[in-house]
Structure 1
Amino acid sequence: MFQKIKDIININDSNNFNITFKHHVIFWLVYFLFTTFRWGSYFNDYEYAFKTTILGFSIHMTLCYFNVYYLMPKFIYTRRYFIYGIALVAALFFMVILKFNLTYFLVSSNVWPEGPGTTSTLTLNYVIEMMLGELYVVTFVTAIKVTFDWIREHKRLLDMEKRQLETELRLLRTQISPHFFFNTLNNIYALTIEKSDKAPKIILKLSELMRYLLYETKQRRQSLTKEIMCLQSYLDLERIRYGDQLKININISGEIGGKEIAPMLLLSFIENSFKHGANKNVGEVNINIDFNVIEDFLHFRISNPIPTEKNNNIVKTTTGGIGIGNVKKRLELGYNEGEYYLDINNDGKEYVVNLKIKV
């Protein structure tokens, strides 16, 4: 029977913060010693207290494990509360009868020495007092079990939310690469049609970017230095493509070493500035990019002119698409409130993105 109890405990608590059979033994041992010395000092008879505690101890254990591992899963977890109440009262009453007989025949004919008088028969007062005493122990142990079950369930839900968050972030990150590669390959295709000498250089630069995006962006956070280097490679690629008509002004200030940021987060803003700026402009295009690290925050700013056609009608620009929408979602999922601030402004002449983010 003792081995069966051990197996039940190990099965039910295998994932409960590594609570093992040893912890149960320690708990009951402490309880046994406390009860023995308590009643021993009360009666000034430690031998009697030891004997009665052994009897009560076995009853307490049986009731507690019967309740938490059978009655509660069978009735409480299935919301059959009335039946649970009846079953618990019946179990308490049965154990009191058992305790009375064991005490009477094995320890003393006075089964309730702490009572109002000598008790050698089963009385209503004795039954009520003993049932309340047993209920106290059962309630105490049940409270411990319920508390640890709640902690375990809470931890399980947090772990599940974390896994879901990481999965969604990975999915959002994987959307960036195909989107970026698709646009770049379209550009290479256009240059090959024109038989441009720039195509081989772009392909070489693209291979460097692919190596970084495929192998070095799997972590939740990436070195800010590496991320800026990746962005510079992308800008080099665009410089090859556009030539002298593209003017990119980059300013980096503050200490960027030792700082980290979500990988490929800023790439969407830069790609967006080309998609809605340089791609649609005729003539020289100026794109201004600022990286300014102040304490634990990166202040990132990028601006590009709103393109106009020859008839001076403003070309419609969008702030949506997979790029910006993806970034907003990743910021919501990957950073806490107060760790970032994003402002996108379009005044009809210039498209400006300001991002303040914890690094």
Structure 2
Amino acid sequence: MDSFFSRLVLSNKTSYRLGRHALFWTVCWAFQGFIYGFYYIEGRATNFFAISYIESFIYLPQHMFLSYAIIYYVLPYIIFRDRYWVGFVWVIALILIAAALSPVVNYYLITPLRIYLHHPVKAMTFFFSFMGGLRGSMTIAGFAVAIKLIKHWYQKKIETEQLEKERIKAELEILKGQIHPHFMFNTLNSIYSLALKKSDETPEAILKLSKLMRYILTDCTNITVNLGKEVEVLLHYIELEKGRFGSRLDISVNIKGDIEKNAIAPLLLLPFLENSFKHGANEMIEQAWMSLDLQVNETALKFKLINGRAIDHNNPNSIHMGLQNVKKRLQLLYPNAHELRITEDADTFVVSLAIELGSIKLIET
């Protein structure tokens, strides 16, 4: 039912357009006939309601003239082109023309009709007939124009929302695309290190890389992915890095909750892990360490990543530069549904992220 009324109001298909126009003028005719039936009543009500409906039908063309002239000429060609004063003059002129038609219709059509049907004829001066036409035409045209403006506003709102969705979608694609090269560069470096050592783990690392590539090229094309797959990518990446660092890396991973029942935007957590290795483990001369905790409760995700770090005296804020991308994605995908805190001191870098997974802002494709 809602779909039918939506099509009736918004569709540009000829059948629906004719249908909504016919419905509008039928309602106007019924309303005018009912109201003026009380105004003319002097004898039996049914007789005067009958003549009222006949007269209302005769007056419809002048109401149509005013309504359609404003809707299909003044609004699109003048008002919507920001020529407001010209539009105002046109509207006033059209109202006066429509009102002036009322005495003509009354003299040449209504009066002869009443005489023919043997109904009382009320003497009406040009002025009162003009004022009656002015009132009736402005009332009907006012409703018609109001409906048109509401429809125009609603369509513009839909267009604006669609453009905003397309903008956000394009921006997300750009942001996500920036992650892939960075991720691949770090992963290939890890495999290259294993190859230099002629490690027996090199084939397994290449296999993990192929799985990661498949994940990026297939699953990551969707707005959301299964949280279990996202966590699996994190674990594969950690294994690749552990092969490169060997015993020099001390890392603990703690995952709690049912990760298979939730979904998350793809590659949202990985940049934090990459950042920890790039600006943490890579730059520590002695033992590198890292701690990852991920908890899921219903649809609430809590992610905490702590790593040791070496201070970059030349560029102390360099660590944050790599996280601007994921911050932006969080703002676009989880507005008012996430909390990200990044704290650091002389030897520690901490990322704390809380997300309400069910509150993702889906972008229609």
TM-score normalised by the shorter chain: which range applies?
0.7 to 0.9
* C-alpha distance in 2 between matches for 1:308 and 1:127: 86
Q: Residue 103 of structure 2 contacts residue 129 of structure 2 at CA under 8 Å; is this kept in 1?
A: no
| Deviations 1:135-181, CA, capped at 9 Å, x for gaps | 12211211111111111111211111111111111111111111111
* C-alpha distance in 1 between matches for 2:317 and 2:145: 63
Partner residue in 1 for 2:242 = 239
Q: Residue 48 of structure 1 contacts residue 107 of structure 1 at CA under 8 Å; is this kept in 2?
A: no
Does 2:28 correspond to 1:23?
no
2:351 to 345, 350, 353: 353
Q: Residue 99 of structure 2 contacts residue 131 of structure 2 at CA under 8 Å; is this kept in 1?
A: no
Does 2:48 correspond to 1:43?
no
Partner residue in 1 for 2:29 = 32
Does 2:92 correspond to 1:89?
yes
CA distance change for structure 1 residues 137 and 99 in 2, over 3 Å: closer, same or farther? Answer: same
Does 2:95 correspond to 1:118?
no
Shift of 1:196: 4.6
* Identity over aligned pairs, percent: 35
Does 2:171 correspond to 1:164?
no
Partner residue in 2 for 1:176 = 179
Shift of 1:267: 0.3
Partner letter of residue 62 of structure 1?
F
Partner residue in 1 for 2:71 = 68
Where in structure 2 are the equivalents of 1:272-287 lying within 5 Å? 272-287=275-290
Give secondary structure in 1 for the equivalent of 2:343.
strand
Partner residue in 1 for 2:319 = 319
Shift of 1:21: 2.3
Shift of 1:283: 4.2
* C-alpha distance in 2 between matches for 1:207 and 1:335: 30
Query: Unpaired runs of 5+ in structure 2?
Result: 1-6, 42-47, 115-121, 358-365
Partner residue in 1 for 2:118 = none
| Deviations 1:31-67, CA, capped at 9 Å, x for gaps | 2122223322432313321221112112111210111
Q: Residue 346 of structure 1 contacts residue 352 of structure 1 at CA under 8 Å; is this kept in 2?
A: yes
CA distance change for structure 1 residues 280 and 84 in 2, over 3 Å: closer, same or farther? Answer: closer
* C-alpha distance in 1 between matches for 2:298 and 2:196: 48
* C-alpha distance in 2 between matches for 1:315 and 1:81: 57
Where in structure 2 are the equivalents of 1:119-268 lying within 5 Å? 119=124, 121-122=125-126, 124-193=127-196, 195-268=198-271
* C-alpha distance in 2 between matches for 1:88 and 1:55: 23
Shift of 1:314: 11
Q: Residue 225 of structure 2 contacts residue 266 of structure 2 at CA under 8 Å; is this kept in 1?
A: yes
2:58 to 49, 55, 59: 55
| Deviations 1:242-270, CA, capped at 9 Å, x for gaps | 22222221111233232222110110011
1:307 to 299, 304, 310: 310
| Of 349-358 and 244-253, the range deviating more from structure 2 | 244-253
* C-alpha distance in 1 between matches for 2:200 and 2:310: 27
* C-alpha distance in 1 between matches for 2:167 and 2:146: 31
CA distance change for structure 1 residues 267 and 32 in 2, over 3 Å: closer, same or farther? Answer: same
* C-alpha distance in 1 between matches for 2:162 and 2:213: 32
Partner letter of residue 20 of structure 1?
R
Give secondary structure in 2 for the equivalent of 1:286.
strand
Give secondary structure in 2 for the equivalent of 1:174.
helix
CA distance change for structure 1 residues 345 and 181 in 2, over 3 Å: closer, same or farther? Answer: same
Q: Residue 187 of structure 2 contacts residue 240 of structure 2 at CA under 8 Å; is this kept in 1?
A: no
Give secondary structure in 2 for the equivalent of 1:20.
helix
Give secondary structure in 1 for the equivalent of 2:319.
coil
Shift of 1:19: 6.1
CA distance change for structure 1 residues 19 and 161 in 2, over 3 Å: closer, same or farther? Answer: farther
CA RMSD after TM alignment? 2.8
TM-score (norm 1): 0.85
Give the number of aligned pairs: 336
Shift of 1:104: 1.6
Q: Higher helix fraction: Structure 1 or Structure 2?
A: 2
TM-score (norm 2): 0.83
